[in-house]
């Protein structure tokens, strides 16, 4: 009976917003940020398989649970840990990137500052922001299921296949052949800790499914532009973590203090923005302001270090960023024309 009810809830035409989300997740986080450059745009395919299908599966699970943003965030953190500990293991192996302080922030086989940054980046810019954009564009389908049982199975298979491709491409090809680094084998206890963390976050997402849904928590919320500012400040500040990883010289601050400050800043941002988003007065214009500002932050911050890029990659990023801003303005125009949908 449960699967029949779920299939009934997934109305026809759900493949359109589902495919949009599969594309948006890696496009916003990887392409618009410049992490995936135009010269390596072929990487978008496995990224759609991992990030896109991962974000879609998370969104569908939360909608089936009738959960809110806390459940989305918890599962997004779980997806990030899967990437950093299991799939490409970037937070476990010594950082291969030019200019990185390989030893600063590294302890017990983990690149802690890099890992903390990626936890925030991948849960927000891979999951929360793309889901927000897709549900804005298809606002009449926001509360619907987009996949039936068969679609969920297909998405799971594609996701797992993408994970295998991404693991092989990075671990077996890129690290040894491009960065010329020896094989790195994380400790089994570290892998086990990552798996346990993913399971714990999944259980927490289930437990929090009743939180984050709209309620009259606040009599009013700030204007949409003030919401944008509330996203801009913590968003830009988050990139300061990467400054500690890629500073030319060893930072003087103990990395434990940097780590603690980063966690405290993230918790504060979550509490403030979460309270605003839970208000019954939170509307489509507020959502647009939040996701646009977050996307704008990753686009601007993505130019850090662009002095080493090729001309075609730099021009490609500028063009794609401009087109993204135009697309967001078109979405804003559509949002202003629509009547606010009923929140459930």
Per-residue model confidence (pLDDT) at position 252: 76
pLDDT tens digits in sequence order for the chain, 344 residues long: 455 555 555 666 678 999 999 999 999 999 999 999 999 999 999 999 999 999 999 999 999 999 989 999 999 999 999 999 999 999 999 998 877 888 888 999 999 999 999 999 999 999 999 999 999 999 999 889 999 999 999 999 999 999 999 999 999 999 998 888 898 999 999 999 999 999 999 999 999 988 876 665 555 678 888 899 999 999 999 999 988 888 766 667 888 999 999 999 999 999 988 888 877 778 899 999 999 999 999 999 999 888 889 999 999 999 999 999 999 999 999 998 875 544 43
Contact by Cβ (8 Å): 55, 21 = yes
- Let me know: does 221 contact 279? Beta carbons within 8 Å: yes
* Helical H segments across 39-85, by residue range: 44-47, 53-65, 69-81
Instruction: Please enumerate, as own/partner, the contacts of 226-230 that have beta carbons within 8 Å and a separation of 24 or more.
Output: 227/276, 227/286, 227/289, 227/290, 227/293, 228/289, 228/290, 228/292, 228/293, 229/293, 230/272, 230/273, 230/276
- pLDDT at 344 (0 to 100): 33
pTM assigned to the model: 0.91
Structural domain spans, the chain: 2-337
Nearest to 266 by CA among 298, 241, 302, 295: 241
pLDDT at 330: 95
In residues, how long is the chain? Answer: 344
The per-residue pLDDT for 317 is: 96
Kindly state the tokens that stand for 47: 């990224």
C-alpha separations of 282 from 69, 154, 220, 268 in Å: 13, 34, 8, 19
Give CA–CA dist 118/235, Å, rounded.
13
Q: What is the DSSP letter of 110?
A: E
Half-sphere exposure for 330 (CA within 13 Å, toward CB): 7
For residues 312 and 38, the answer to whether their CB atoms sit within 8 Å is yes
What is the b/e burial string over 59-90, where b = at least 16 CB atoms within 10 angstroms of the residue's CB? bbbbbbeebbbbbbbbbbbbbbbbbbbbbbbb
pLDDT (0 to 100) of residue 340:
53
């Amino acid at each position: 009976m449960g699967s029949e009810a779920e299939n009934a809830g997934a109305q026809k035409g759900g493949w359109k917003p589902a495919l949009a989300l599969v594309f948006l997740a890696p496009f916003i986080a990887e392409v618009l940020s410049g992490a995936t450059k135009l010269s390596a745009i072929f990487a978008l395919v496995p990224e759609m398989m991992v990030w896109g299908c991962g974000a879609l599966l998370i969104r569908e699970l939360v909608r089936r649970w009738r959960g809110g943003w806390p459940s989305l965030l918890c599962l997004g953190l779980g997806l990030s840990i899967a990437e950093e500990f299991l799939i490409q293991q970037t937070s476990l192996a010594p950082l291969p990137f030019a200019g990185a302080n390989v030893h600063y922030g590294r302890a017990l086989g983990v690149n802690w500052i890099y890992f903390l940054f990626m936890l925030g980046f991948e849960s927000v810019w891979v999951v929360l922001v793309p889901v927000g954009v897709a549900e804005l564009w298809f606002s009449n389908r926001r509360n619907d299921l987009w996949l039936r049982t068969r679609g969920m199975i297909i998405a799971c298979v594609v996701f797992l296949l993408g994970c295998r491709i991404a693991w092989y491409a990075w671990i077996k090809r890129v690290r040894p052949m491009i960065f010329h680094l020896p094989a790195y084998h994380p400790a089994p206890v570290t892998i086990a800790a990552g798996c346990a963390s993913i399971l714990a976050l999944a259980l927490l997402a289930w437990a929090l499914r009743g939180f984050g849904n709209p309620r009259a928590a606040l009599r009013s919320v700030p204007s949409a532009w003030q919401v944008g500012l509330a996203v801009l400040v913590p968003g830009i500040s988050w990139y300061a973590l990467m400054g500690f990883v890629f500073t030319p010289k060893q930072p003087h601050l103990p990395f434990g203090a940097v780590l603690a400050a980063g966690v405290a800043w993230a918790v504060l941002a979550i509490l403030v923005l979460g309270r605003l988003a839970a208000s019954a007065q939170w509307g489509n214009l507020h959502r647009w302001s939040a996701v646009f500002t977050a996307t704008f932050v990753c686009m601007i911050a993505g130019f850090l270090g662009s002095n080493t890029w090729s001309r075609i990659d730099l021009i490609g990023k500028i063009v794609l960023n401009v087109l993204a801003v135009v697309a967001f303005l078109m979405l804003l125009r559509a949002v202003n024309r629509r009547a606010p949908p009923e929140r459930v």
